Amino acid sequence: MKLPPLPHLPQDADGPVFAAPWQAQAFAMALSLHERGLFTWPEWAEALAKRIARAQAAGDADLGDTYYVHWLGALEDIVAAKSVTSQEELARYQHGWEHAAERTPHGQPIELTPDDLH
């Protein structure tokens, strides 16, 4: 599926580029949810543009290093707006992943357990 280009998308001649695996995963989640019909591409572009504009208004220097942070934030915004989940549930999982990361030795895979979500 060929999607319209997004402003500021980090890419090279082969397509989008990612500095970390989580960026590719966030990118893939947005594409998958779009392909499943959760939102249109113009809705997605608007959500991402709003996130970037808010960050710039708050002082983000827009050097490209925060692009996927905004991508992930826009993804959270749009799934909450579409009632797929709530901001509270997203926060619960964010805190759970943070807890799981804190207890995981460096270099080991992070595993989320039910105890992390309390």
* Cα dihedral 12/16/17/19 (nearest 10): 150
Q: Residue 92 carries which side chain, given as an amino acid letter? A: R
**pLDDT for res 47:** 94
List per-residue pLDDT tens for the chain, 118 residues long: 555 566 666 777 776 778 888 899 999 999 999 999 999 999 999 999 999 999 999 998 877 788 899 999 999 999 989 988 888 888 898 899 899 999 999 998 889 899 988 8
Q: For residue 109, is it within any domain?
A: yes
Give the total number of structural domains in the chain: 1
CA-based max dimension of the chain:
44
Q: For residue 37, is it within any domain?
A: no
Q: For residue 40, is it within any domain?
A: no
Q: For residue 102, is it within any domain?
A: yes
Range of the domain at 89: 62-118
Nearest-angstrom CA–CA distance, 62 and 64: 5
pTM more than 0.75: no
Q: For residue 35, is it within any domain?
A: no
**pLDDT for res 91:** 87
**pLDDT for res 94:** 87
Q: For residue 46, is it within any domain?
A: no
Length of the chain: 118
Which residues, 6 or more positions from 26, have their beta carbon under 8 angstroms from its beta carbon?
68, 71, 72, 75
The residue ranges of DSSP E strands in the chain, in sequence order, are 11-12, 15-16
